[in-house]
Each structure stands twice: as structure tokens, then as C-alpha cells.
Amino acid sequence: FLEERAKSSTTSAVKKLIGLQPQTALVVDDEGNSRLLNVNEIHREEKVLVRPGGRIPVDGIVARGESYVDESMLTGEPIPVAKRSGAAVYAGTMNQNGALTIEVTAESGETLLSKIVAAVREAQGSKAPVQRIADAISKYFAFAIVCLAVVTFLLWFFLGNAVAAAVVCAVSVLVIACPCALGLATPTAITVGIGRAAENHILIKDAAVLETMCKVTAVVLDKTGTVTEGRPTVVEDEISPDATTEDLSVLLAMEEQSGHPLAKAVSDFLHGRGVSPASELNGFSAVAGKGVSAMSGEALYWCGNRQIAIDNGAVGASVNEQGGTVVLFGRGPAVLARFMLEDKVKASSAEAVALLRRKEIDVYLLTGDNAVSASKVAKEVGVAHYEAGVLPADKERFILELQQRGHVVAMVGDGINDSQALARADVSVAMGEGTDIAMETASVTLATSDLRLLATGIRLSKSTMRVVHENLFWAFIYNTIGIPFAAGLFGVMLDPMWASAAMAASSVTVVLNSLRLKWMKFEQEKNTK
């Protein structure tokens, strides 16, 4: 009961989020007919009309209309986001000044909100390693107490005391012993800690991760989308006279199939030039850490970094790197185009690195980008250790080397190329705006993609585990002193009623100590130095 009360009080913020999702929605068809339906009855590809000032009832894509949407209940960002045709919107967010027709992409139980709540509930029900130890002790605790009560009765009886006195002491031993405090010591604190993390837009998959986070001594950062905005733009282009319109159409088709931020930047650039994607594209392949390739007709096309150009025997694959990222495009051994891209560093990244270093955590930057770009970003955010031109397997190997040197490693990434490293790390952290595979591999997701949340999460995990250890210490001390006292070892006859009151007080103390986490301030940390 006490554990459920603690859990209930810590999921209040999540429950408020669920309460923000409308229960009904206005479904419209192409003829303009509308009907009001329960959100549970709405299916994918149906269209929903949301009027100004209304909450969006489903996850979907804007089919018609323009507006600003307040997404603060999901991201914590107070500034409304502009939405127009093709933009993604989420259940529970507030439409502000324009009517939106939304095509449903996720049904009621599959919305982002629903997934967040399900993940938090699952995490709160999981067990930390320290809890398994406490559970193992509790398993034998009851039997040991019964044996102690029998021994207490026999000792009092054979020492010449009345049977009633012996019974009182034995009953007091049974009553005062508190396996409840031992059993509640870990789960209540873990429940509160994971709940507080969710309130701060940090989604933790299970209790074991929370316990490991407090031990992190090294953080490895991916660059694109983690330290930088992940929305690079083309700032320079050099297209060969040999490149035909058909070649550029193939390039656009390839980049549209790639989920990489650099590919999106190139595709946006080509769209701006009026290029249309090729209709025929075969054998599309993403080469991890290098780029993409595909066949069109008899020709093999490729696009990516210098390494994929060299792999295809490209002539003139050298690049002029001046702090930006260079994307090369070619057909067979011929380089047809070069694009220089720049990706802004997030405003919070330097502060996040400073916060981690203040906690005496080593910070490393790994990127598949060129050395000049990596050096520029590392210097801007204050990372002393960085490596450029790193492939996914190299990231995994780097983390393994850190672990062999005794580090507990947290890896932060957002892309498919980070999935190997995320799986290898002790704590894997995905950015909320990253790819699905990164978030599935990760044990922690930063919903707002703000690196400062990692420092907040580590601080919260340390506080949570400190409370767990305090609870276990209290349970141990209470039973160590209380049981001998109830047995009359100190020459005092303890009334069973007082023993039961002490037992209840012990359990309540553990729960209240855990609830301290709810009242602690874990808002996004600021670097005060």
C-alpha cells in the first residue's frame, strides 16, 4: 500500500499529461462531412480537424492548414512551433491560431504520449540490482524472525519467567521485526526517482540503468544531432559540368531514402534548385559511417564522405575542408559534385560539457566527420578529447577500451551509426529527435534533445541511490536494535502494541525518506561557473 501511494504521488505529472489528451475528435472526409468520435475509434490515415485553441487528439501529419502549436507539455520549450503541410504533430499539444486538418499516423494507444507513460510505468516496475539483494535477504528474514521468536520464548521460559512474559517477548519480536522497511527501501526510492526523471523529460527504461548512471565516469558524445543541431545546411556547392540533370535526380532520390541529417540538407538544397527525384533507383544501400550507394540503369552512384569516394576509385576525391562537412557525389570513379555543409552547435552543448566536467566526468567527442570540422566543434564546446573519421565499429571499440581502463561509460547518440556504440556502453543515451533504432537501443532518452539533461539525470541518479542506501541503512539499524530490544535483551519488557507502532513507523520513515526526492529540485542544471 505504501509503495503504491509513493508511486501514485510520483506519476502525477505523467497523469496530467494523459489528462491533456482529448477523448474525442472531429473526423472529416474529403467531401467535407464530419463526425465526432472517441479517439479510440480513430484509425490511421483518417483525417481529424483541430480548430484554433483546441488540443490535438492524435499523432499525425498536417494535411491542410497552417498554425503554431504549443508543444511545451512534451518538450518543455515554451516557444510555439510553426506547423504547415507535412509537419508532424503530437497528441496533447495545443493548436493556437489556425485550423489544422491532420492525417492520423498513430492510433490512441500508440501515440508518443502513450509510449512515454508506458515506458515510465514499466521502468517503475523494474528492479535494480541492489533491490534483488534486499529481496533475497527479505526472503529468509521472516523465517529467521520466527526462529528468533521461538528462541526468545524458550530462553524467557527456562530462565524461570512466567509463560505470559515469555509469550509477550516472543510476540514483540514477531511484531517489531520489519521486513516491510527492507522491502520498501529500494522500490519506493526507484519509483520516485524514475518519476522525477520523467517530469524532467528524461525517460529511463529500467531501474538497473538508474543505478548505473550514478557511477558514470566517462561520457562519449556523437557530434551530429547530439552536440550540433542535426540540421546542417549547404553553404557551398561545386557541381561538375559533367553532371547531368539525370545525375542530380538520382542524387536526390538517394538522399531522400537516407535518414541522415546530411542527406536531408542535400535533398533540401536540390529541391530548392528545382531538381526532381529519379523514379528508377535500384540496390539502394547505406554504408555505415561512409554514405549511400545505388544503381540507376547500368551506372553505380554513390554519395557520402571521402572514404566512400575512395572505395569507388574516385578521381579527385580530395576535399578542401575549412571547418565544414564535405559531402561528395559521384558516378563510378567520377566525382560529379561537392557540397560544403555547416551544422550549428547547440546553444546548450558547451554548458552541458562544463557541467559534466564539474562532476569530474571525462568527456569525449567521436565523429565520422573530417578532422577540421571535429576540431572546430570540440573547441567550441570545450571537449579536449576528440576523434574524427570514426566508423561505427571504431566507436564501439573506443568505448570498450574506456571500459577496460575502468571507466563506466555513457554513450550519447542519435543515429543508426551510433547503435553499435549505444549497445556497448554501460549507459546508452538517445536524443529525443534521433532515429527510432537509436531510441530503441538506448536505455535513456532525453526527450528535449538537450545535453544538459544528461547532467541532471546523473545528479538525480546519485540522489536516488543515496536515498536507497539511507533506506537500507535505516532498515538494518532498526532491526539490529529493535529485535534485541523486543526480546528483552536490555532488561525492558516491550508491549506488543508499542512494537507494532515501531514497525509501522519504520515503514513510514522509509517511504517519507523516498518521497524527499519528489520535493528536491532537479530542474535543468545551469553552469554557474
Where residue 419 falls among pLDDT bands split at 50, 70, 90?
confident
User: Is residue 529's pLDDT more than 50?
Assistant: no
Strand ranges (DSSP E) for 240-331? 282-287, 291-296, 299-304, 325-331
What is the average pLDDT value for the chain, to the nearest integer?
Answer: 82
pTM of the model: 0.67
| 282-287: strand order across its sheet | 233-239, 334-342, 325-331, 299-304, 291-296, 282-287
User: Is residue 299's pLDDT more than 50?
Assistant: yes
Catalogue all structural domains in the chain, each as residue range(s) with its CATH number.
22-107 (2.70.150.10), 125-177+462-519 (no CATH), 202-229+345-449 (3.40.50.1000), 233-342 (3.40.1110.10)
Higher pLDDT, 209 or 3: 209
If you write DSSP's letter for every residue of 327-341 in order, what string do you get? Answer: EEEEETTEEEEEEEE
Burial class (CB in 10 A: 0-12, 13-18, 19+), 60: buried
Higher pLDDT, 62 or 135: 62
10 Å Cβ neighbour count for 276? Answer: 12
pLDDT of residue 363: 95
User: Is residue 255's pLDDT more than 80?
Assistant: yes
pLDDT of residue 268: 92
Where residue 78 falls among pLDDT bands split at 50, 70, 90?
low
Active-site residue set:
222
Where residue 3 falls among pLDDT bands split at 50, 70, 90?
low
β-pairing verdict for 218-222 and 409-413: parallel
